[in-house]
């Protein structure tokens, strides 16, 4: 797995377009939200800002970059080349997504630490880690699934839009309006319950039992994403 991950990292830093999508855009958006944190926290809360930051990185740095990478590797038959070796499918896939995943995790960690240092630290770090992990795993699995219907890196600019914008919209909706109204709908949307978990973890004050109830739909989405990834991912271009 490590040789593949190493080669992916080299390619990532040699490809400016991917570098901009995975590093520059999420960082710029994060800086914007952190700079105007007081305004956004008045609209929602600091927890809402944290949720939006997390989903911006999950959507662009992790999800869109992974879809683009996998589509490109399949289109130029690099996946077939890797499958011509002794490496197994799980090893190949893990090696391909490892660098992007690590970069996304580091980005989230750095940005949340900066956000906490200029604002207020999260009330429940453990709960935040659970919600964050679930959100990233869900988006990674959705990326593998979306790659299955993405024929090329150019096509990825279209296929990644619905989910990228969707989860950020859900995070914004849930973060700003809370779950007093349309609670069920908001919690069953992808990223909805994860957003509420992040808000609760950052702001504090919510009973632990209420937060634990939100873990179930969050994990259901993780499972759904993994099942879709297993069913939809293709190793070779369509004939």
Residue numbers at the binding site for other proteins (CB under 8 A): 3-4, 6-7, 10-11, 14-15, 73, 76-78, 80-88, 236, 239
Place of tokens 């008045």: 42
User: For residues 82 and 170, which CB has a smaller minimum distance to other proteins in the complex?
Assistant: 82
**What are the DSSP calls for the chain, one per residue?**
-HHHHHHHHHHHHH-HHHHIIIIIHHHHHHHHHHHTHHHHHHHS-HHHHHHHHHHHIIIIIIIIHHHHHHHHHHHTTHHHHHHTSS--HHHHHHHHHHHHHHHHHHHHHHHHHHHHHHS---S-HHHHHHHHHHHHHHHHHHHHHHHTT--SHHHHHHHTHHHHHHHHHHHHHHHHHTTSSSHHHHHHSTTHHHHHHHHHHHH--S-HHHHHHHHHHHHHHHHHHHHHHHHH--SS---
User: For residues 64 and 72, which CB has a smaller minimum distance to other proteins in the complex?
Assistant: 72
User: For residues 158 and 239, which CB has a smaller minimum distance to other proteins in the complex?
Assistant: 239
User: For residues 5 and 170, which CB has a smaller minimum distance to other proteins in the complex?
Assistant: 5
- Shortest distance, CB of residue 99 to other proteins, whole angstroms? 13
- Shortest distance, CB of residue 86 to other proteins, whole angstroms? 4
- Shortest distance, CB of residue 105 to other proteins, whole angstroms? 23
- Shortest distance, CB of residue 81 to other proteins, whole angstroms? 3
- Shortest distance, CB of residue 79 to other proteins, whole angstroms? 8
- Shortest distance, CB of residue 100 to other proteins, whole angstroms? 15
Q: Say which residues have a Cβ less than 8 Å from residue 193's Cβ, sequence separation at least 6.
A: 187, 214, 215, 216, 217, 218, 221
User: For residues 22 and 179, which CB has a smaller minimum distance to other proteins in the complex?
Assistant: 22
User: For residues 72 and 171, which CB has a smaller minimum distance to other proteins in the complex?
Assistant: 72
């Amino acid at each position: 797995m490590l040789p593949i991950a190493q080669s992916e990292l080299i390619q990532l830093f040699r490809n400016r377009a991917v570098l901009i999508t995975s590093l520059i855009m999420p960082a710029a958006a994060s800086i914007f939200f952190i700079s105007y944190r007081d305004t956004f926290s008045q609209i929602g809360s600091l927890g809402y800002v944290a949720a939006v930051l997390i989903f911006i990185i999950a959507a662009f740095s992790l999800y869109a970059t992974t879809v683009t990478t996998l589509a490109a590797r399949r289109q130029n038959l690099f996946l077939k080349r890797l499958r011509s070796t002794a490496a197994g499918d799980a090893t190949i896939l893990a090696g391909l997504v490892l660098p992007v995943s690590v970069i996304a995790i580091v980005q989230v960690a750095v940005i949340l630490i900066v956000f906490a240092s200029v604002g207020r630290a999260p009330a429940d770090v453990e709960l935040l880690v659970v919600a964050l992990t679930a959100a990233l795993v869900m988006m990674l699995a959705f990326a593998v699934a979306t790659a299955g219907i993405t024929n090329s890196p150019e096509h990825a600019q279209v296929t990644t839009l619905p989910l990228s914008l969707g989860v950020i919209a859900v995070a914004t909706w849930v973060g700003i309006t809370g779950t007093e109204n349309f609670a069920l709908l908001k919690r069953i949307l992808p990223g909805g319950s994860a957003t509420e978990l992040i808000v609760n973890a950052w702001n504090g004050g919510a009973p632990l039992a209420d937060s634990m109830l939100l873990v179930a739909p969050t994990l259901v989405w993780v499972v759904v994403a993994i099942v879709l990834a297993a069913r939809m991912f293709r190793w070779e271009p369509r004939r």
